[in-house]
Structure 1
Amino acid sequence: MGLSDYVLLGVPILVFSLAHLFGGAAEPTTALWFTAIIALLLPASVFFGERRNEVGLAWPERPASVLFLLVILVAIWTLVAPARGASTPWAAINGPGAITWDKSSTTIEIVKLVGLASLFCLGCFEGVRRRRVTAALHIILIIGAAWAAFGAVVMIGGFADGLTGLHFNFGGRLSGGFLSANSAATVYGVLLVLCVAMLARAVRNRRLGRSPQRALALAAAIGGVLLFTTCLLSTASRMGVTATAIAVAAFLIWESLSRKEMPSRRLILLTLAGAAVAVLVIGGGDTLWTRFESVDSDSATRSVIFSVHWNAFLQSPLFGHGLGSFSAINAQQMTPENFGSLRTIGATHNVYIQWLEEAGVLGALPMFALIALVIGTAIRRSALQDTGATLQRGLIAANLVLLIHGTTDYAIQVPSIAAFWAYLLGLQFAYGKARTGKSSA
């Protein structure tokens, strides 16, 4: 791989990593500019990277394309189809109105989805060559480590207040530039899972022979695991920590079963030592433990939010109320009884309910099926890999962080995190389609 290949790999990763620092590009105007940039990355990669001969190989299969097209068509239909129901804001307007409650927000969401699709396809371009996937993961972890270290230094050093417009400290919790520490926890968790996969790969390569390069790779992986673990715990995100622990455990179990090897005594001792250190670290995290103590009250609030917005979904189950219409729906659903739970939220805190509420069954199910198809295809292809399977398993396991944390939070709906995930999905979906290039497990 030449310098130009590393530049083409690094630019998209740098783009969404920088967006992490600025609230995840969540503000509507910023989100549109961010979408425009990531949408241009695909044609730029094809043109400047001279990869025109890989277009057919990297392009998603027909089922994936059809499912995504269905999502877009349903969203467009909610913009143009007339609706005059009593439960819509158009009931008192002389005219056909629309299914969606907020036409401008729905239009923005459609544009954002197209941008994410472009970035997913870019991930597919890089994923067809194993060496490019390995290089991309190295760049992701290097830039991710720089982002994590910067956020940790800013928070620990007390510099957060001096950085106007940037968010690193919310109530003693590390937020990494996001408007929520829980969103930061999702990214730290994904990076931790990927770094654990790199560590497993480095340990295995170390057994094949000792060299300065392999020793450096092992030391870097260990340092990354420690850094991302520390940052994750500093977010004090209960579900973020839980989802990451499940994802790491799933990866380690899968890796062990796939290798069909009994773990060595040293590995068992190191695992127990690592678990003991993690318990001690968590035990010293007063903020995290304090938040665990308040889980009952927070669960009660989440329960009210979920119930209200599930009922809103049932009011328009087929087409929903329109992508991006959450704020309008939430305001309409407020009552004196639930006002305290709904008044300050900007999302349902459950991406599945919110997709059903906004896109309806006809829009949400194709999206859910698309994600399942991508991950299922990656799992199927991982079983066929003779080399590089460890990194593929790490990419797949990292999905669990986003999917599990998405049941209680909205990180997936933050533009920069959605872009990060779209890119990772593309990498794992197309991983190894081209059987050229060598890479180690």
Structure 2
Amino acid sequence: MADHAAALETPASGRASRQRLGWAAPALAVLLVAQWLAGGANQGVSSALAACADAALAIAVFALAPAQSRFWARARGPFVLLAAALLWAALPGLLPAGLARALAMPVNPAADRFALALAKALATTLLLIVAGLLAYRDGSARGLVRVLTLAGLVYLLWAAADALDWLYDSARAARYSGTIGNPNAAGIVFAALALLAGGLALAPEAEPPALRGAALAGSAVALVLCALTGSRSAVLLALVGGALLLVRRWRRWQDGRPPLRLVAAAGLALVVLLGVVAWATPVGDRSAYLPEDAGSRWAVIDHYAGIAQAQPVWGHGLGSFYDVNQQTLTPEVAPLYWNFGAAHNAAVQQAIETGWPGLALLLLALAAIGWQVARARRDWWTVAPLCALFAITGSAMVDIALNVPAVAALFAVLLGAIWGAALASGTPRVRRRGKGVRGARAVA
């Protein structure tokens, strides 16, 4: 029945559908930029407003999307797991007190924050689905990723001007926190934008030379801004992601690879630039005590994993991390952990708030999405988003990246764009004996 319904979509109706949703990708990009400008939507009022805006955009897109789209059928597995993860997290705050006690659910010490935390989780999930639907309707991530990158370039212009003003009032050892207010969160946003801009500059499709040049310049500016934040993990992950991007583009070069001398000269110039940036920004100074910080960060993660183990089934409740941290302080650990607002590891914090089953359901949902992406035929426009996702995920394992709603929203949109494009490809990749030949694209 789903195939029959999809067959009823004529080319004219498909074009009409895309026109009805043509505003959605720009609106999504503007929404993300607005959250970056609003302190990462990391305060109570801004978080609530951002969650409402995300939900309103999702409702509008779902209302205008054709009901016969096969997207909903193809994505049902991850849908079920995402819904289960949200339900598990929400149950302790929604069930009557007597039933909650009978199920051994602990009392949330931050019950006043539960509704906002649930709204943010739901809004992030909706953004993931919206981005997936838009990419599915286009048959590729190109439209959404391109619009998001262009919006990011405009944001980088504002951030660069703001950074110049900041430099007049700051010492060399100070860290730039951008418009988000936290240096590490700002650093990973700049790293992701550098990778997206690099992907546009290297795109195999016919892009205007002026746009490629602007994207290349934007990528360089984003890397410099990333270094100004002093976030060593963001800089390192941006470099690793950039190397993966360049290697992937080199392998797919269709019109002849550039001369080796040109590549070597460009590589040398990049190394010199990075050396100057590292020397002139806080990254260089902070790298001197990286081994000591690495050991300290592992101790932090181990400490909070122990707190998660205290309530392994249901967790302490959505939004409870700060209060739980304050309640578990002892004279031995208080000097280090008294001001922590996040566990500096997204997985551990999820376990603290929703229990290990809640974390398992979320990881299963992400694994199901990853499985569909891995099996699908992909094009160039998924490469840069994948590199950006790698950077954000890596940062979230040692820092607060995904605790900032604006960063979580960026992660959800990038993942959704890749997921939707994978579902639209229709045919899994196949390998013939002796050769890595990709399967033909089926008509979605």
TM-score class, shorter-chain normalisation, is 0.7 to 0.9
Whole-Å Cα distance in 2 between the matches of residues 7 and 119 of structure 1?
15
Distance 1:153 1:227, change over 3 A: same
- Given candidates 86, 90, 93, the residue that maps to 1:72 is 86
- Alignment check: 8 A CA contact 2:92 2:317 kept: yes
Q: Tell me whether 404-413 or 98-107 shows the greater mean CA deviation.
A: 98-107
- Alignment check: 8 A CA contact 1:189 1:241 kept: yes
Whole-Å Cα distance in 2 between the matches of residues 198 and 421 of structure 1?
18
Unaligned ranges ≥5, structure 2: 1-14, 427-440
Aligned residue identity for 2:242: V
- Alignment check: 8 A CA contact 1:60 1:121 kept: no
Distance 1:11 1:349, change over 3 A: same
Whole-Å Cα distance in 2 between the matches of residues 371 and 100 of structure 1?
26
1:302-317 → structure 2 map (5 Å cutoff): 302-317=297-312
The answer to whether 1:146 aligns with 2:154 is: yes
Distance 1:195 1:155, change over 3 A: closer
Q: What secondary structure sits across from 1:157 in the alignment? A: helix
Distance 1:131 1:199, change over 3 A: farther
- Alignment check: 8 A CA contact 2:145 2:414 kept: no
- Which residue does the alignment assign to 2:344? 349
Aligned-residue offset at 1:154: 1.7
- Given candidates 258, 262, 265, the residue that maps to 2:260 is 265
The answer to whether 1:27 aligns with 2:43 is: yes
- Which residue does the alignment assign to 2:245? 251
Give a deviation string over 1:122-164, Cα, whole Å, max 9, x none.
Answer: 1012101447732322322222122222122123124998xxx
- Alignment check: 8 A CA contact 2:21 2:65 kept: no
Distance 1:398 1:11, change over 3 A: same
Aligned residue identity for 1:332: Q
Whole-Å Cα distance in 2 between the matches of residues 11 and 342 of structure 1?
39
Aligned residue identity for 1:404: G
- Which residue does the alignment assign to 2:420? 430
Distance 1:374 1:252, change over 3 A: farther
Aligned-residue offset at 1:259: 6.1
Q: Tell me whether 245-254 or 325-334 shows the greater mean CA deviation.
A: 245-254
Q: Name the % identity.
A: 20
- Which residue does the alignment assign to 1:7? 23
1:355-434 → structure 2 map (5 Å cutoff): 355-381=350-376, 384-385=377-378, 389-431=379-421, 433-434=423-424
Whole-Å Cα distance in 1 between the matches of residues 371 and 108 of structure 2?
32
Aligned-residue offset at 1:407: 1.5
Whole-Å Cα distance in 2 between the matches of residues 253 and 33 of structure 1?
41
Whole-Å Cα distance in 2 between the matches of residues 74 and 4 of structure 1?
35
Residues paired across the two proteins, number = 408
1:292-311 → structure 2 map (5 Å cutoff): 292-311=287-306
- Alignment check: 8 A CA contact 1:233 1:285 kept: no
Q: Please report the RMSD computed on the Cα atoms of aligned residues, expressed in angstroms.
A: 3.3
Aligned residue identity for 2:324: I
Aligned-residue offset at 1:337: 1.5
1:169-180 → structure 2 map (5 Å cutoff): 172-180=174-182
Aligned-residue offset at 1:429: 0.3
Distance 1:66 1:270, change over 3 A: farther
Give the TM-score taking structure 1 as reference length. Answer: 0.82
Aligned-residue offset at 1:263: 6.9
- Which residue does the alignment assign to 1:210? none
Give the TM-score taking structure 2 as reference length. Answer: 0.82
Give a deviation string over 1:177-212, Cα, whole Å, max 9, x none.
Answer: 1121110111111111112222221xx446xxxxxx
Q: What secondary structure sits across from 1:52 in the alignment? A: coil
Aligned residue identity for 1:293: A
Aligned-residue offset at 1:46: 4.1
- Alignment check: 8 A CA contact 1:320 1:358 kept: yes
The answer to whether 1:214 aligns with 2:208 is: yes
Q: What secondary structure sits across from 1:126 in the alignment? A: helix
Distance 1:423 1:286, change over 3 A: closer
Aligned residue identity for 2:245: F
The answer to whether 1:101 aligns with 2:109 is: yes
- Which residue does the alignment assign to 1:45? 61
Whole-Å Cα distance in 2 between the matches of residues 113 and 42 of structure 1?
14
The answer to whether 1:124 aligns with 2:132 is: yes
- Alignment check: 8 A CA contact 1:25 1:31 kept: yes
- Alignment check: 8 A CA contact 2:241 2:390 kept: yes
Aligned residue identity for 2:77: P
Give a deviation string over 1:216-243, Cα, whole Å, max 9, x none.
Answer: 2321222122121121111111011112
Q: What secondary structure sits across from 1:409 in the alignment? A: coil
- Alignment check: 8 A CA contact 1:82 1:99 kept: no
Give a deviation string over 1:397-420, Cα, whole Å, max 9, x none.
Answer: 221111111111111111111112
Unaligned ranges ≥5, structure 1: 85-89, 162-167, 207-212
Give a deviation string over 1:344-366, Cα, whole Å, max 9, x none.
Answer: 11111111211122221110011
Distance 1:365 1:278, change over 3 A: farther
Whole-Å Cα distance in 2 between the matches of residues 12 and 160 of structure 1?
34
